[in-house]
Amino acid sequence: MHQIIGDMELDTNGPSLIDITRHIASWIKINKLEKGILNLHILHTSASLLIQENADPDVLQDLLNFYSKIAPTNNNYKHQSEGKDDMPAHIKSSLTNTSLSISVQQRKLMLGTWQGIYLFEHREKSMTRKVNLHFLGQ
């Protein structure tokens, strides 16, 4: 039983769901991780992580629309100092995930056929996002 730690960095350009499954899968292969639990943690609170359907891109668009509607930009938020899209970003982060724990088996992520791992960017301006990877297993 051992632990492997890594990180990934991703540049984003506005609200979107970015499929990072391949990045994670190749990190597992490179490090020859057989079986264990992988913890992903995004080091921000205005972007988040989400496991969602990877088949129809319309699903991602509908998710973006839903979250824009539930936490609209033009609301009377007290927190305005970092731009009017920052508070909605924190709300969307709170409704989704900052960390995810995923099973690794036979050097593969244990995901359903239609599941992908997404970095969910909520800010409008370009950002550089960091995700920490922590594997515990063999």
Q: Which residues bind a second copy (CB under 8 A)?
A: 1, 3, 5, 35-37, 39, 41-46, 50-53, 56, 58-59, 61-63, 66, 70-71, 77-79, 81-82, 87, 90-91, 93-103, 105, 110-115, 130, 132, 134, 136-138
Pick 30 or 110: Cβ nearer a second copy? 110
**Which tokens is 118 given?**
């997404």
Nearer to a second copy, 5 or 30 (CB): 5
Q: How far is the CB of 59 from a second copy (least distance, A)?
A: 5
**Shortest reach from residue 6's CB to a second copy, in Å:** 11
- 71 token code pair: 């936490």
Which is nearest to 122 in space by CA: 74, 63, 35?
63
Length of the chain: 138
What are the φ/ψ torsions at residue 69 (nearest 5 degrees)?
-80, -40
Residue nearer to a second copy on the CB measure, 23 or 137: 137
Q: What is the closest distance, in whole angstroms, from the C-beta atom of residue 49 to a second copy in the complex?
A: 10
Nearer to a second copy, 7 or 30 (CB): 7
In 1-138, DSSP assigns E strands to 2-13, 16-19, 36-42, 47-53, 99-105, 108-109, 115-121, 126-137
**C-beta separation of 78 from 13 below 8 A:** no
CA distance 132 to 36: 16
Q: How far is the CB of 62 from a second copy (least distance, A)?
A: 5
Q: How far is the CB of 33 from a second copy (least distance, A)?
A: 12
